[in-house]
Homo-oligomer: A and B are copies of this chain.
Amino acid sequence: MSIEDRLKAIGLEIPRGVSAAADYVPATLHNGTLYVSGQIPRVGTEVKYVGRVGVDCTLADAKAAAQICAARILGVARDFLGSLDRVQRVLELTVYVNADASFTEPSAVADAASDVMVKAFLQAGTHARSAVCVAQLPKGAMVEVSAILAV
């Protein structure tokens, strides 16, 4: 099964043409290390999941949002590298969850992003990770995920 087939099997499509506005870019590469910009749960031009966990959305919403962020990271990597087969290892994910202090499970949200990486790359998809709740995110997004990949 190809990486994309494994993701399709869980109902997840890797987006094409993920871009970045302004003076930043979706990814940079140096010495075999790919830095991927923080991704929010956009589908096309729309931010599909907006809101703060513990205030106006649920853990389930945030997990769905995190999954889209992860798929976008894969989209960026595929566009940059030509093929996801060039990814040797997911080195690190940083998961920012838009939440107030009542929500103490950013790890559970992050698990949804982590699962996508392992589904895509199997053992090479396991990674170091940080998960935190922040005060707000771009466009009110529910989750933002950045990544460092070995290629």
Does A60 sit at the interface, judged by CB under 8 A? Answer: no
Task: Knowing that A52-B101, A104-B136, A106-B137 touch, tell me 14 more A-B residue pairs with CB under 8 angstroms.
Answer: A22-B107, A22-B111, A22-B114, A22-B115, A23-B126, A24-B126, A25-B128, A30-B32, A37-B129, A94-B146, A107-B139, A132-B134, A132-B136, A133-B137
Chain A, 73-114, contact with B by CB distance < 8 Å: what is the 0/1 string?
000000000000000111111101001111111110011001
User: B-facing mask of A25-61, CB < 8 A → 1, else 0?
Assistant: 1111011110111100000000000001001000000
When all copies of this chain in the complex are counted, the total is 3
- A residues bordering B, Cβ < 8 Å? 20-28, 30-33, 35-38, 52, 55, 88-94, 96, 99-107, 110-111, 114-115, 117-118, 125-140, 144, 146, 148, 150
Q: Is the CB of B23 within 8 A of A101?
A: no
Q: Are A35 and B92 interface neighbours, CB within 8 A?
A: yes
CB distance from A98 to the nearest CB of B (A): 8
Which residue on B lies nearest to A25, using beta carbons?
B126
Among the listed B32, B96, B104, which residue makes an inter-chain contact with A140, where contact means beta carbons less than 8 Å apart? B104
- State the Cβ distance, A30 to closest chain B Cβ, in Å: 4
Can you name 18 A-B pairs with beta carbons within 8 Å?
A21-B107, A22-B107, A23-B115, A24-B126, A24-B127, A26-B128, A28-B92, A30-B32, A35-B148, A100-B101, A100-B135, A102-B136, A104-B136, A106-B136, A132-B144, A133-B134, A134-B134, A134-B135
